[in-house]
Amino acid sequence: MNLSLSTKTNPQHTLILGIFEDGSLTASGKALDHAEKGLIAQLFKNKTVSGKCGECFPVLLQTTKHQPAALLVGCGKAKEIKESDYRKLITAAVKTLNSLQIKAADSALTEINVGKRSLAWRVKFHAEVSMEALYRFDHYKTSKDPVHLQKLSLLIDTKDQAAAKIALAQGTAIANGAAYAKDLGNEPSNVCTPSYLAQQAKVLVKAFPSIKLNVLDEKAMEKLGMGAILGVTKGSAEPAKLICLEYRGGAKKAAPVALVGKGITFDTGGNSLKSPENMVGMKYDMCGAATVMGVFKAVAELKLPINLVGVIPAVENMPGGNAYKPEDILTSLSGTTIEVISTDAEGRLILCDALTYCERTYQPEVVIDIATLTGAVVIALGFHATGLMSNDQALADDLLKAGIDSHDRAWQLPLWDDYQEQIKSPYADIANTGGRSAGSITAGCFLSRFTKNMRWAHLDVAGTAAMMMGTSDRMATGRPVPMLVQYLLNHAGE
């Protein structure tokens, strides 16, 4: 879909208008209602439309001077519209237009006040949500669900053009990055292997010459001493990869922001085998890796004036005669020894080596890891908030703010020393799990042992990176690409 800005409506386009529960309209709605001799007011009076949030009603117009049709979109109560309401009504409008096979539309939903959000925010968010509403992953379906809506213009005032143009570019880039992350996440694991992720990184670099790539194979990792990653990959026939991306848009000597993304392309639990029902959805265990690649795509599109590195440990976690076992002891790249209590706590094992490699190779200003790390975070926060832990409160605050700015929110969990007691081992420096209680926090405590010399934050996206609402309703979400790109925008002063 082509997104654009316009200061006036196109007579050939369907016009999207908001209507509130009290029957009131925004400026464009009032103008059209006046031109149509009170048609919209009459529809409300007759209770044909209610203004309930997300309710859509197509209207054929009577005059020839205006659009051939309008779509009335319920917005709820005018003084109570929240970001989630705005998402709901945009999604409903775009999906309704597409189902009606409308090819081009002008949206006046930018006129709706959403709390204290600026017009630029509304334009940016409208772009993101509109593209998300039309997202498809039907590569393997013999019958495709077509996208009919090809053009969408967001209506703005002339005085707002400069800010709106920047906002539209940002929203489009974020949507493209999130869609790319979703595409990677939705691929089946027989396609999306560690080698496939490395190949897709090459495709990304070809599309954006500002991105550089280095891929370490198992031989290189063994030479470095990455015993934790190599321990996890032992049971798989698929070779592990360490994918390293670099984007240099800032000052030559400026320390980069580093993103480390968990790339378990399928997680059986290893010899600590998952139950069959819990194995469905484990292709999404590489959504941290997909997020890193999605963020790189968005940053390169926007040509942000920052330095950014991404480190992706890509591995399968499989059972078998060669696979690592509970009570094995691994020696990590840092030299820290790890007793394996559960082979299903593998994400932290590959991340700890990646974090150490990141510190030694890039000396980052900050490092943020992204991982579908624990089922415990889903129990704690559900599917709405990403779990955030950090050893630096200023960094945590910046990420929390970016989450609010983007409406891709996180919630901070504590990393008190008290929890470190749970991951003690009688045989090694540390155990890879601390039991069921506070499972997300003890996983964060484990990672904190490898980030003592860095400003570090951990995002546990097990509940937010994919929708897991049953066997027939599963889809990667692209989160937390919006939060992280917003963080980088804020970081770059953009």
Mean pLDDT of 131-153: 96
What does the block give as tokens for 24? 């009131």
> How does the average pLDDT of the chain come out, rounded?
96
Give residue 65's pLDDT band: very low, low, confident or very high (50, 70, 90). low
Contact 264, 347 (CB under 8 A): yes
Mean pLDDT of 55-72: 84
Residue 494 has a pLDDT of 84
The whole-angstrom separation of Cα 56 and Cα 48 is 11
Residue 469 has a pLDDT of 63
Q: Which residues sit opposite 16 in a β-bridge?
A: 71, 107
Contact 369, 263 (CB under 8 A): no
From 113, 94, 91, select the one nearest 103 (Cα to Cα): 94
Residue 64 has a pLDDT of 54
pLDDT in tens, 187-215: 999 999 999 999 999 999 999 999 999 99
Q: Give residue 193's Cα distance to chain centre.
A: 20
Considering 274, 325, 455, 474, which one is annotated as catalytic? 274
Considering 87, 124, 182, 348, which one is annotated as catalytic? 348
The whole-angstrom separation of Cα 314 and Cα 189 is 12
Instruction: Specify whether 348 is catalytic.
Output: yes
Mean pLDDT of 435-460: 98
Would the pLDDT of 470 be above 70? no
Residue 331 has a pLDDT of 98
